[in-house]
Chains A and B, each alone.
Chain A
């Protein structure tokens, strides 16, 4: 089955390698991976989708937690959630053929974000099937698609759910824990002087 994990990690060099290496070690292919900033400074949020047996979910989550830089792990494979992907698609279009693309973009509720005399760029967000649908239609005219850039999935639980771990961290004064450790060191250094 498809597993979806939301993982909060410390924003430090090498952390993504550690997460990816865990899946490599378990011989599990990562289908989709999206990493970006989170609501909290110093923490990155990963949405990771992989194919593994139903029982594997527990072990993956437990193993992720064992990584020193992992702060929280949420297995939302079964939970009601909103999932989105982003796609940028560059298509060849002359002033004569643009109108047809505009119609398509309208139907798919995408947007044109760049336009030249020879091509235009479509930006689209949505679920995977919707993006696939647009690409499929564009492909009907051979040679029209020049470039496709697609993100992995971004997923968030529905309802009033927040990471209890990250919430608990917010109780400490502003700045990441490391920054405060640094500040503490500076203070001490000041005292020593």
Chain B
């Protein structure tokens, strides 16, 4: 979006009478773009840049692995809407960024990665720590650049920021050879301004399409709004809410859409898709009209497309023309910025009586609630769902929660009720384990005034646990809720359902996480019972420094409901009521 750029500081001082080195130009340009924080790791090919850092008012956060730097820049962008910046040296430093770049690409996160490279004269010679990182990242960046001339540094970086934050945002990588960092050139921030941004030429919002959409909405008996990540990217929260309220249309959210529409709103259905609540998916399957707002009909949302919402006409409001009719064929496509499109559509929408449909959906909730673990007694067990529910209650839903990937991620999405945008930060598209801890560091640095919680499983947490040291060195106050079940839980769940309980390579021997935290000088405690949850959360919140809670939860619990991959949305596996040896059997019946 044009609106989510970093605020640019006054650029009057950004012309220098004497030439600067490429390294200095880099920092001066970042400062001019409004960058205040950079996540990185030094090395030979980027040393000139690090040498020049002390002259500029930019904070550098030293990470423990470059993947962490990319996730931090990503978390920073997701929490604030500003462009996150990660930095690494050539070769292994650059390739370590790759997972983080792909994560940002799949979720359309504005990010600029700066890598050093070997001097231009040895490019392509397999020099020490040389890798063709623009080649490597070509399919996982929105665009990337190789800079070999000092005089191109400023213009290229500014162009990179423009690309990262415009249209459908995404990561951009700028690879700068060492000689370009060392050379000198005149610096003029204004002159380095990129050409005006050209919107995608296939954006189309025609009156006929708007009229058609309005008529479909007017005539619909069972409409559902599908709200995705685009609601937040576009800043269309108000418009979506107005549409829903005026036409009395219930709103289902994608995972990345959570927070875009208040969880407490009477029209909020909750999360759709593979682990969405039954009534949400049933409503979608029964709907006669879907109004998709800033979402892309991902396979985790649709199940098998051939069986998806067959009774429904579909309106797709989307900023990326390449998403139209990609997964699901739609009847009306309004291709443009969501907020702008809705502003044009809303005057055509009149009040509508949606009572009968809303009542029907409401009725379907009752039957499902019986199965809800939230309504089951714990009988001395600790369930992750209970932890999420309590964490939500105790933080008042105000915290920024950064989750990893797996069962805990789905439980968080189900039981932590997000009222506001950018309060849930999670890797949706790529599903990157190891994302939570570094992304939370980025989120906290972007929003120091916010309470930030990491919610991670014991598997994913260990992928990037080295960043605990970063927290300490950079004095970052975040709280960590470890959902520890001694398994790669989601994989184990698939093995349970689809591979005859052959738990191959999923049991996990973990370190004592309390001691691990202690070794870093981080306060920590383990929790085994639900009764201890509240006290531990309170202790973490009141602690001055970072705090880790090792929630040792039920080992073989599963996320319900679940739509098996390749099934239709209504073919879901429900939490079993009567299964021998199910831990919930005893809790439910005793």
Contact = CB atoms under 8 A, between A and B. Distances in A.
Interface in B292-335: 320-322, 324-326
A21 interface: yes
Chain A interface bracket (under 10, 10 to 19, 20 to 34, 35 or more): 20 to 34
If over half of A's interface residues share one DSSP class (helix, strand or loop), that class is named, otherwise mixed; here it is helix
Nearest to B326: A59
B579 interface: no
A153 B546 CA distance: 64
A65 B188 contact: no
A55 B325 contact: yes
B110 to A, nearest CB: 15
Nearest to B170: A66
Interface in A148-193: 165, 177, 181, 184-185, 188-189, 192
Contacts of B201: 65, 72, 165
Contact of B325 (A58, A66, A177): A58
A177 B200 contact: no
Interface string A78-108: 0000000000000000000000000000000
Interface string A45-88: 00000000001001101110111100010000000000000000
Given A14-B134, A185-B188, A188-B188, A68 B155 contact: no
Nearest to A14: B134
A188 B324 contact: no
A192 B188 contact: yes
Given A18-B138, A21-B138, A188-B186, A59 B322 contact: yes
Given A62-B322, A65-B321, A189 B200 contact: no
Contacts of B135: 17
Interface residues of B, number: 28
Contact of A62 (B139, B146, B163, B324): B324
A68 B143 contact: yes
B195 interface: yes
Nearest to B151: A185
B513 to A, nearest CB: 40
Nearest to A177: B195
A76 to B, nearest CB: 16
B17 A62 contact: no
Nearest to B168: A66
**Among B146, B188, B325, residue most surrounded by chain A Cβ atoms (within 10 Å):** B188
Given A62-B320, A181-B155, A189-B186, 13 more contacts: A18-B138, A55-B325, A58-B324, A59-B322, A65-B202, A66-B320, A66-B322, A67-B143, A68-B143, A72-B201, A165-B201, A192-B15, A192-B188
6 contacts: A18-B138, A62-B321, A62-B322, A165-B201, A181-B155, A185-B188
